[in-house]
């Protein structure tokens, strides 16, 4: 689960925090259908991560407007490549935050190596519809990503 959360958030500490929060929610309010517990966990975790990503984006915007954005230093031989890679990741996260939550969730789960059946269970759709939904999600992501570039 942390790997999926990390792919959304890009921060292991925050991914672990969100995983812990997911299990706290499981303890406080378990799902009625315990047969789909794995899907429920991934859905709750990815929704929380997307919410955290949106909150982070809002916070960054406020910090930039106030002039308090701190630059991170990256030990690398090619600082320009590191900056470009960080910008690419940020654009991808921004694009994920702008598309429908279910679309973002499906793309992240697929990118994390989950099968169509596992994705269907996590999102609550028919396994037969996962391919078409992923194609739509990919198109939605590409459009949001291209807007993030421009």
Summarised one tens digit per residue, pLDDT across range 17-31 is 889 989 998 888 888
Q: What is the pLDDT of residue 74?
A: 46
Residues 20, 44 contacting (CB under 8 angstroms): no
Task: Name the more confident of 99 and 73.
Answer: 99
Report the distance separating Cα 112 and Cα 127, nearest Å: 17
Q: What is the pLDDT of residue 150?
A: 62
Percent of the chain with pLDDT over 90: 21
Q: How many Cβ atoms from other residues are within 10 Å of residue 71's Cβ?
A: 6
Report the distance separating Cα 141 and Cα 100, nearest Å: 9
Summarised one tens digit per residue, pLDDT across range 119-133 is 998 889 999 999 999
| Alpha helices (H) along the chain | 2-9, 12-28, 37-66, 79-98, 101-111, 116-123, 130-149
The pLDDT mean for the chain works out to: 83
3-state DSSP assignment of residue 67: coil
Tell how far CA 48 is from the center of its chain: 9
Residues 53, 93 contacting (CB under 8 angstroms): yes
Q: Which pTM was predicted?
A: 0.53
For the chain, state the CA radius of gyration: 17
């Amino acid at each position: 689960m942390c790997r999926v959360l990390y792919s959304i958030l890009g921060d292991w500490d925050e991914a672990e925090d969100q995983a812990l929060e997911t299990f706290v929610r499981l303890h406080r309010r378990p799902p009625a259908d315990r047969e789909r517990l794995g899907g429920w966990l991934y859905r709750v975790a990815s929704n929380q991560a997307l919410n955290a990503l949106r909150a982070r984006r809002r916070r960054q915007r406020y910090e930039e407007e106030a002039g308090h954005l701190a630059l991170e230093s990256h030990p690398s031989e090619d600082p320009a490549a590191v900056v470009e890679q960080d910008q690419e990741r940020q654009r991808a996260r921004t694009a994920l935050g702008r598309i429908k939550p279910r679309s973002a969730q499906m793309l992240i789960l697929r990118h994390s190596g989950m099968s169509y059946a596992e994705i269907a269970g996590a999102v609550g759709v028919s396994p037969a519809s996962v391919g078409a939904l992923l194609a739509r999600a990919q198109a939605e992501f590409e459009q949001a990503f291209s807007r993030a570039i421009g």
